[in-house]
Amino acid sequence: MSWANPEYFWLLLFLPIFVGYVAWKLFFRKQPSFTFSSTAALKNLPGNYKAWLVYLTPLLYVAAFGLIVVAMARPQLQNTTVEQHTEGIDIMLSIDISTSMKAEDFEPNRMLAAKEIAGDFINNRRSDRIGLNVFARESFTVCPPTVDHRLALQLLDTIDMGMVRDGTAIGVGLATAVNRLRNSEAESKVIILLTDGMNNAGEVDPITAGEIAASQGITVYTMGIGTRGTAPYPVDDPVFGRRYQNVSVDIDEEMLQQIADMTGGKYFRATDNREMIEIYEEIDRLETTEIEEIVYRDYEDRYMNYLLSGVLLFIAGFLNERLFTRSPLFHS
């Protein structure tokens, strides 16, 4: 409920004045009287309902005045319709699932950290279609671009190392993501490629895949993850149980930088969870979705019900005062 003329509510300040006047008129003002030697005989006289109607009149006037003031303030029901137009972005997340993603320089390891932070990114891109592909020695699409982010998150949770043969085919992974976006009619098409190694498998050269992406108008953001130097890698020994060995972290940053540059994207390096979160946040800012809103507001006046009720109560108070109690409040 909204009010077109709320300034009329100031008139309600007259109510205490009116109530004070009525109290003075009914209880404190001296009334004409007769002198009796004794009123004992009058106590047993039957009561008359008209004696109580004198108190009803001011109540009716107060209620009538309040309702009429509300009507003057013009109560309205507001119906709002919002029409949204979005400039959609299609995004493919291309994630390395080679066994090197077991390294624990991220918490709890590279694979689980990449999935968790990518999930947060998906949750923040509510207006975009998001898809997912993975790669090791081979690559396949886990989820094509979709606005069903719940499905995308469920499928993201299922990916793990060992789904395909081990290796790092960055070119094949990028080509798979490009293939999913090449027929997209979205205003903007983006690939976020995440890897922790160097291209050592696959039939497609990563630079060639980057050139194809550029020819299709696809922006590629590349992300190399892994600490600098060496990282602890878990090894499960059948005799001694789990132990850790330090493995070298080798990322072809020059190649990832070149792919990003040729497609108008950007290369990032993350050495821990915090840096990976910040990278996704920066990509989120770089690839903003434009949302145009048109708001329609329709107002429906509801003052008539209050006005009619107030007038009827005023008439009832007037008739009660003149016909039944014959004790006018506004006359001597």
The tens digit of pLDDT for each residue in 283-320 reads 998 887 655 556 666 777 877 888 888 888 888 877 87
241 & 320 share domain: no
Structural domain contains residue 22: no
CB 4 within 8 A of CB 73: yes
> At 97, is the secondary structure helix, strand, or coil?
coil
d(CA 290, CA 292): 7
pLDDT of residue 97: 97
Angle, CA of 12, 307 and 65, to the nearest 5°? 30
121 & 153 share domain: yes
318 & 172 share domain: no
Count Cα atoms within 13 angstroms, Cβ side, for 329: 24
CB 149 within 8 A of CB 130: yes
Residue 255 burial class via C-beta count within 10 angstroms: exposed 0-12, middle 13-18, buried 19 and up: buried
Structural domain contains residue 30: no
Q: Which among 201, 220, 202, 200 is positioned nearest to 210, based on CA atoms?
A: 220
Question: Residue 239: which residues within 8 A CB-CB, separation 6 or more?
Answer: none
Structural domain contains residue 119: yes
172 & 239 share domain: yes
Q: Which domain holds residue 178?
A: 88-289
266 & 157 share domain: yes
* Strands 291-301, 75-86: pairing kind: antiparallel
Structural domain contains residue 226: yes
Among 14-18, 106-110, 142-146, 284-288, name the one with the lowest average pLDDT: 14-18
pLDDT of residue 53: 65
Among 72-81, 105-114, 152-161, name the one with the lowest average pLDDT: 72-81
202 & 64 share domain: no
> Residue 255: what are its φ and ψ, rounded to 5°?
-65, -45
Q: Quick one: DSSP state of residue 93?
A: E
pLDDT of residue 84: 52
Number of domains the chain is built from:
2
* Strands 89-96, 188-195: pairing kind: parallel
pLDDT score of 281 more than 90: yes
Query: Within a 10 A sphere around the Cβ of 61, how many other Cβ atoms?
Result: 23
76 & 96 share domain: no
Structural domain contains residue 332: no
* Strands 241-248, 291-301: pairing kind: unpaired
154 & 56 share domain: no
CB 212 within 8 A of CB 176: no
pLDDT of residue 43: 55
98 & 123 share domain: yes
54 & 178 share domain: no
pLDDT band, residue 110 (cuts 50/70/90): very high
Structural domain contains residue 295: no
Q: Which among 181, 183, 161 is positioned nearest to 92, based on CA atoms?
A: 181
Strands (E), 64-187: 75-86, 89-96, 129-135, 139-146
d(CA 10, CA 8): 5
112 & 231 share domain: yes
Structural domain contains residue 20: no
138 & 70 share domain: no
- Identify the H or E element spanning 317: helix 303-319
Question: Residue 228: which residues within 8 A CB-CB, separation 6 or more?
Answer: 249, 271
Structural domain contains residue 26: no
d(CA 81, CA 296): 5
